[in-house]
Structure 1
Amino acid sequence: MLEGHDPYLVALSVVIAILGGYTGFGLTARIRGTPDASHRLLLAGAAFFLAIGIWTMHFVGMLAAPLPAGTVYLVLPTIVSFLICALVVGISLFFVSVGEPPVFRVLSSAVLLGVGIASMHYVGMHGLSGNFAMTHDGAMVVLSVLIAIATAYGGLRAFLARQGGVQLALSAVAYGFAVSGMHYTAMAGMHLVPPSQGSHPHVEGLAASSQMLSLVVALLCFVIAAGFLLSLVPDPRKKVAETTDTVAAIPQATVRVADIPPADSSAATTSPRLRPTPLGGIGQPPRSAPAPRMPVEGADGTHFIDSADVRSVRADAHYTKVHDGTRERMCPWSISEAEAQLDPGLFVRVHRSHIVAMAHVTLVRKEGDGAIVELDGPSPHRVPVSRAKIAEVKARLGLVRRHAS
């Protein structure tokens, strides 16, 4: 069934799969280190673009196939095929986005996603209607499902990996060829044969012509291309507009910590406003020695990272997320336990849900009733500061000085 395919549309289908994969993976790469609301929004966007890329690639491939004249597409199976794709992609990404998923959960999600992609393909095939009967080679069906599962596993591993520009592009290219390979493997096992003698072709339900499908596919191609171009726009959080006027306007200003002259060392040691205070507050028993390392959960077990590499700790239900400057990883400690274990001379609980390493703060800015701080690293991220903690944070950063008596 591969003979006679339009090579230009085949190439376009591969490109669409690559662009959809790049956009989806690019969004997932921004998930770690974002607030919960942004996390959900990025996850939904990633699932949307991956599903659109898979579904559009499938129907561009169908338009490339040498189907008999008069073939139409039944609307209901075509819509159901997209819903299947969107549902399984969203569920699979959700399962692997919670903490650091173990290998079993990644494999289970890959099987779910692969079977869902294959189901989308064959439900879409069922939507073809015309003067023919359709048959499939069993071996090719099994092979296409295995390719879909392998594709899904590779995509989920890319989701979990630390993604840079080159790695992201290579993952998207591999993903695009793999998804397209699944489609054309299934098409190679499909055979259209003349209908049995005496039967007459009939269309059951609302149908769309190839021309109508082409318009829909063209629109979705535009959506994917637009999403791809938007994903190339640099993250605005990494841009800092710094001017003399804003520095002079503290506390409403954005201030770069690296540009602030250090406070007088003698004042820092004598002033009670600059002296580090225990995080636990007044009246609590003396804390034990600070923990030099923090446990984080990985796919293959529990790892330990040096507390000096920790940028921030964020509460996540009964656990926490530890950011090492590149990504977040799940820690089995609660936010209160992390506060008790970390060195109060290095870490400050700036919010009921956030702890930051003050040595890694590169920016502080007033925002609403509170403030935000930005922490350095390969992937800089920002953390909110509550109104009650602004004075302490400014003091620890040397922004509050004693006036001469």
Structure 2
Amino acid sequence: MFEGHDPYLVALSVAIASLGGYTGFALAARIRNTPGVSNRMLLAGAAAFLAVGIWTMHFVGMLAAPLPPDTVYLVLPTIISFLICALVVGISLFFVSIGEPSLKRVASSAVLLGVGIASMHYVGIHGLAGPFAIAHDRTMVLLSVLVAVVTAYGGLRAFLAQQEGVRLIVSSIAFGIAVSGMHYTAMLGMHFEPLTAGGHQHLGGGLAASQQILSIVVAVLCFVIAAGFLLSLVPDQRRQAATAVMVDPISPSVAPEPMTQASASPRPMPAPLGGLGQPPRAPVPRLPVEGADGTHFIDTADVRSVRADAHYTRVHDGTRERMCPWSISEAEAQLDPSLFLRVHRSHIVAIPHVALVRREGDGAVLELDGPSPHRVPVSRAKIAEVKARLGLVNRRHA
């Protein structure tokens, strides 16, 4: 089945997958520096371009294949195949973007995404209709699913790495080759079996499209991907401005303007070698939080808890939650460890504000005081440390 493919369309399918990967990964690289609604829009855009790139690559590959004469595409399975692709890509990217991207979280997302991509492929394949039946080699089916899962894992890692420059280009090309490899691995194990005279899998009742119509649809999607690719090359003005501030020397004849609270949202800068051999960093007295009119600052004494929210955090002051531009790890590094404790991979609490602790399942729950008390989960691995910090080490029950 692999013989007879149009080499130019095969190359185009790899290029389309690579461009879709580049656009999606480039949008992912901007997520970390973009707050609020724009963050979610970038995440949705990254998922959309990756999904469209994968799906379009699949059908460009189908156009490259030597299909039997009079082959048509059933519209419903074709649409369902795209919806499957968009759904699993969106869910997988969202799942790895919330909280800490642990190996278990990324691996489970990769399995979901890989199986989803394989499902998209085979649903699309069985959207083919004509005087033939389609058969698959089971070994190649399993191999194609394995390739899809490995490809998904690599793609999610590239998404989380938020790469730029040459590394982004290399990752995108590798992603395009891997996605295409899954498709052509599956095609290698597929063959058509002619039906008897008068037999036809498309016997009416289902809307079908010719290869010419599919070519038009694919051409439009190729244009969309190319446009997204070109737009992703447009420099981010906010990032350029931040870079200029960091690298441009300050003229000695011009005094720098003092930074106001609303003019910038400070981010902690990592110390060389992780701070090895340097004096411990003093805890920050305030945390930046975003408001409708700019960046505000909240005293750490008023902070009850910090909760991870994708690449950012939500700071609770006992009354409400507000978005902080720091990640959960950055917040943990900046807060006073004698007052704050990370009780869960997604939660930090202020120990002096703990009003209640109780066991719940394998873990525990803390209630923080304030005008609007709220509860925070404690992971099983952190229960002993929480009890020690609360002076409960000699008690049997938390």
Q: Could you list the per-position Cα deviations for residues 8-54 of structure 1 after superposition, in whole angstroms to 9, with x for gaps in the alignment?
A: 10000000000000000000111112212111000000000000000
Residues of 2 paired with 1:328 and 1:177: CA distance? 35
Please say if 1:330 is aligned against 2:318: no
C-alpha contact 1:111 1:152 (8 A) present in aligned 2: yes
Q: Which one of the candidate residues 253, 261, 267 is aligned to 2:255?
A: 261
Gaps of 5+ in 2: 243-247, 261-268, 272-278, 291-304, 314-324, 341-398
What is the deviation of 1:100?
2.3
C-alpha contact 2:28 2:162 (8 A) present in aligned 1: no
Q: Secondary structure at the match of 1:30?
A: helix
Q: Secondary structure at the match of 1:331?
A: helix
Map 1:5-404; keep pairs closer than 5 Å.
5-196=5-196, 199-201=199-201, 202-240=203-241, 258=250, 260-261=254-255, 307=281, 318-319=306-307, 329-331=327-329
C-alpha contact 1:111 1:149 (8 A) present in aligned 2: yes
Q: Could you list the per-position Cα deviations for residues 205-239 of structure 1 after superposition, in whole angstroms to 9, with x for gaps in the alignment?
A: 00000000000000000000000011011101134
Q: What's the counterpart of residue 354 of structure 2?
A: none
Residues of 2 paired with 1:142 and 1:22: CA distance? 28
Change beyond 3 A, Cα 1:194–1:309: farther
Q: Could you list the per-position Cα deviations for residues 172-211 of structure 1 after superposition, in whole angstroms to 9, with x for gaps in the alignment?
A: 0000000000000000011101114663442440000000
Taking structure 2 as the reference length, what is the TM-score of the superposition?
0.65
Q: What's the counterpart of residue 289 of structure 1?
A: none
Residues of 2 paired with 1:322 and 1:339: CA distance? 20
C-alpha contact 2:306 2:328 (8 A) present in aligned 1: no
Which deviates the most, 56-65 or 333-342?
333-342
C-alpha contact 1:137 1:190 (8 A) present in aligned 2: yes
What is the deviation of 1:3?
0.8
What is the deviation of 1:63?
0.4
What is the deviation of 1:330?
2.1
Change beyond 3 A, Cα 1:313–1:233: farther
What is the deviation of 1:98?
1.2
Change beyond 3 A, Cα 1:208–1:200: closer
Which deviates the most, 50-59 or 189-198?
189-198
Residues of 2 paired with 1:224 and 1:148: CA distance? 21
Count matched residues. Answer: 289
Gaps of 5+ in 1: 242-255, 269-273, 275-291, 295-304, 343-405
Amino acid at match of 2:328: M
C-alpha contact 1:32 1:328 (8 A) present in aligned 2: no
Residues of 1 paired with 2:209 and 2:28: CA distance? 34
Change beyond 3 A, Cα 1:314–1:189: farther
C-alpha contact 2:47 2:93 (8 A) present in aligned 1: yes
Structure 1 runs of 4+ with >4 Å offset: 256-260, 305-310, 312-317, 320-323, 332-342
C-alpha contact 1:129 1:203 (8 A) present in aligned 2: no
Q: Secondary structure at the match of 1:56?
A: helix
Residues of 2 paired with 1:65 and 1:35: CA distance? 44
